Amino acid sequence: MFRIRKSVVLAVILSFLLSLCVSAETEIPFEGEGTYENPYLISTAEEMYDFAEIVNRGYSFDGEYLKLTDDLILFDYRTALAVVTTTWIPVGSSFSVPFKGSFDGDGHEIRGVYIFSDKGMQGLFGYVCDGEIKNLTLSESFISGNGHYVGGIAAIVLSSDEGNHNKGLIKNCVNNAKVSNGDMHTGGIAASAVMVVDCVNNGDVTSESSWVGGIVNHACRVENCTNNGNVSAESEVAGVCYSTYCEQGHDYKRGVFGCINNGTVRYEENGFAISDISWSDIIDDCVNNGSVVNVTQEHVHEYTTTVVVPTCTEDGFIFYRCSCGDSYKGDITPATGHNEIYFGVNEPTCTTPGWTDGSKCSVCKEILSPAGEIPATGHSGEWIIVTEAQDGNDGLEQFRCTVCGEVLEEKVIPAVYIGDINSDGKITAADARIILRYAARIDNGWDDNSVIKLADFNADGKLTAADARQCLRYAARVDDYCSDFGVNIK
């Protein structure tokens, strides 16, 4: 790549910037006197907005001191009803209105700085001339510009003294904001600064152009700083500071000292873990733990896809896998949930248990609500005469369940023989005498129907002397018993 002589490039840039340091006077509404011992105090988001407005109207706070007394939320996106747009104009928004004082964050945090600009000179601070920013953390913010100089804490922090380049310091600051630029000169802490000391960048830094550093793109000295963010640009990219070249006089060594890069550096041309040694005087005691990747030689993933359909309880997704082994899940489809159906109540029988109502999923068959068992009721029976005992023929009696009708037990009813009262198998005068005694009520209890059937020869439903007489006739063989009853009684 063709390079203009670096001393000429930087001399032109610095001469232009230094010519623009201005100051003005105005009434200051903050508590304090602006001195080192009694600095102006900024306690609220409203006062921070006032501070930026005062500087951008032309008052530079030259040689004065300000201190932050509390954490501030300049814009809370969580309570916003509209899409977040630009919410912050940098302190020192152009070269004509620099901040020239000392701003001490006193260990506090500023959140909610959102910048979406099509111009350069973007950051919490824009142009700082002969000033310093220290002890400050920037979080929950997004800074995007499209022009020269975009940084997290500040865009530019320079010195106006061409003979002694000792002014212009950022110290003990942390940037958690994402920083993006469509043009050149971009950094996580600052795009350009004289000295950056004890700072940490955790935000990703991206540029569509060149001259990009995780901490700062250009500085005279970078000391004890750590970059944890990923840094990417087309060219001239470094994990800490791309260039430390400066021509002004100073009483310190220029270069990068005691710094660490943990982020991934992605570039198309000229990418470095810490700094470009051809644009830096010294790189000393620095450590790189990140990757430096040339995207033109980087493997391009080609993924095959496998569709995993959702189930009742598990999300579905598309599984993407590259031949290199990289894989991920995407296009999540929520679990369908169970389709609950009910069993219904099943009543028990005499021998089979029933169950109370329960439910299951009709899709996966999982039991969602188990049914409770109802014990079998057991049989409830009674004796029923199936066949009456007849003269000479046995009868049948069964013990049946009155619920289900099952025959549980049965027994034979012995055959009966009319006239054989004493059950000796013969019809004799003894049988006739028994009939007479019951007919005359000499013996009691003869009204039992089963017995009456044996003695009621004339079938009139009563026991009388006529029945006894007939019994005697059969016993004496005067009448033929067999022809009348068809039973052989000897």
**Same domain membership, residue 222 and residue 358:** no
**Same domain membership, residue 84 and residue 38:** yes
What pLDDT sits at residue 187?
A: 98
Paired strand residues for 288: 261
81 pLDDT band, cuts 50/70/90, is low
Q: Which two tokens stand for residue 199?
A: 């700072």
The answer to whether the CB of 159 falls within 8 A of the CB of 167 is yes
The rounded mean pLDDT for the chain is: 83
- How much is the average pLDDT of 369-396? 76
Paired strand residues for 373: 355
- How much is the average pLDDT of 343-363? 77
Contacting residues for 232 by C-beta, under 8 A, at least 6 apart? 204, 205, 206, 207, 212, 264, 265, 266, 267, 295
Q: Please check whether residue 119 lies inside any domain of the structure.
A: yes
What pLDDT sits at residue 395?
A: 75
- The DSSP letter of residue 79 is G
What pLDDT sits at residue 449?
A: 61
20 pLDDT band, cuts 50/70/90, is very low
**Same domain membership, residue 395 and residue 252:** no
79-83, 88-92, 478-482: lowest mean pLDDT where? Answer: 478-482
13-17, 56-60, 154-158, 476-480: lowest mean pLDDT where? Answer: 13-17
**Same domain membership, residue 307 and residue 263:** no
Candidates 214, 216, 304; CA nearest to 262 is 214
Domain count, the chain: 5
| Residue 193 reports pLDDT greater than 60 | yes
pTM, two decimals, is 0.59
Backbone angles phi, psi at 98, to 5 degrees: -80, 160
Backbone angles phi, psi at 31, to 5 degrees: -65, 140
Query: Rounded distance, CA 477 to CA 459, Å?
Result: 20
Candidates 102, 105, 179; CA nearest to 137 is 105
Q: Please check whether residue 422 lies inside any domain of the structure.
A: no
* Sign of the CA dihedral running 445, 449, 450, 453: positive
Candidates 300, 153, 177, 150; CA nearest to 233 is 150
What pLDDT sits at residue 216?
A: 98
- In single-letter form, the type of residue at position 144 comes to S
| Residue 417 reports pLDDT greater than 70 | no
**Same domain membership, residue 396 and residue 327:** no
121-130, 307-316, 377-386, 461-470: lowest mean pLDDT where? Answer: 461-470
List pLDDT tens digits, range 26-74.
789 999 999 999 999 999 999 999 999 999 999 999 999 999 999 999 9
Q: Please check whether residue 185 lies inside any domain of the structure.
A: yes
* Sign of the CA dihedral running 460, 466, 468, 471: negative
What pLDDT sits at residue 316?
A: 81
Strand 65-68 versus strand 102-111 pairing type: parallel
**Same domain membership, residue 229 and residue 363:** no
Paired strand residues for 397: 385, 411
The answer to whether the CB of 149 falls within 8 A of the CB of 117 is no
**Same domain membership, residue 179 and residue 220:** yes
| Residue 330 reports pLDDT greater than 90 | no
First to last CA, the chain: 144
- How much is the average pLDDT of 192-204? 96
- How much is the average pLDDT of 297-314? 80
**Same domain membership, residue 193 and residue 122:** yes
Query: Rounded distance, CA 177 to CA 131, Å?
Result: 22
List pLDDT tens digits, range 233-283.
999 999 999 998 776 656 678 899 999 999 999 999 999 999 998 888 899
Query: Rounded distance, CA 26 to CA 99, Å?
Result: 14
Burial class (CB in 10 A: 0-12, 13-18, 19+), 319: middle
- How much is the average pLDDT of 430-434? 75
| Residue 15 reports pLDDT greater than 50 | no
**Same domain membership, residue 447 and residue 326:** no
**Same domain membership, residue 404 and residue 255:** no
Q: What does the radius of gyration of the chain's CA atoms come to, in whole angstroms?
A: 55
Contacting residues for 441 by C-beta, under 8 A, at least 6 apart? none
Query: Rounded distance, CA 241 to CA 222, Å?
Result: 7
Q: Please check whether residue 1 lies inside any domain of the structure.
A: no
**Same domain membership, residue 199 and residue 110:** yes
487 pLDDT band, cuts 50/70/90, is very low
Q: Count of alpha carbons within 13 Å of 11, Cβ hemisphere only?
A: 8
List pLDDT tens digits, range 130-151.
999 999 999 999 999 999 999 9
| Residue 9 reports pLDDT greater than 50 | no
24 pLDDT band, cuts 50/70/90, is very low
Q: Please check whether residue 419 lies inside any domain of the structure.
A: no
Q: Which two tokens stand for residue 81?
A: 């009803």
Q: What is the H or E stretch that residue 26 is in?
A: none
The answer to whether the CB of 54 falls within 8 A of the CB of 100 is no
What pLDDT sits at residue 30?
A: 97
Domain housing 435: 429-485
Other beta carbons less than 10 A from residue 348's beta carbon: 15
Q: What is the H or E stretch that residue 51 is in?
A: helix 45-56
Q: Please check whether residue 421 lies inside any domain of the structure.
A: no
